[in-house]
Amino acid sequence: MTAPIVVRIIGAPVACASGVQDTWREVAAWAGRQLAGHFGDSVTVRYFDLFDPDCPPLPEGAQLPLVLVDDTVVSSGGKLSIPAIRRQVEAALAAAHGPA
């Protein structure tokens, strides 16, 4: 069995009038459930707070939230797109399994 495709979502807490919100972590958890429902154990989703010591390095010019699929940038800034992430995961799975 091949290693799972790793989706990394990097965000940061947001301060607002009602306090600090960890919205990107919540969205990443939701995305993880969506992707696990579709791909099962073939995909792993990890969320990193920008200030976590093990946060992967950000590419130059990256904006939050940053989505990486096996180190390929899927999106930088804006909203998370599950269809875009799914397409990249499918491409990574196809590449990992080689031609049929």
Q: Is the peptide bond before 53 cis (omega within 30 degrees of 0)?
A: no
Share of the chain above pLDDT 70, in %: 96
Digit-coded pLDDT (tens) for 55-97: 999 999 999 999 999 999 999 999 999 999 999 999 999 998 7
> What predicted TM-score, i.e. pTM, was given to this entire model?
0.90
The full set of domain ranges for the chain reads 5-97
CATH class of 5-97: alpha beta
Q: Which residues of 34-52 are buried (b: 16+ CB within 10 A; e: fewer)?
A: ebeeebeebbebebbbeee
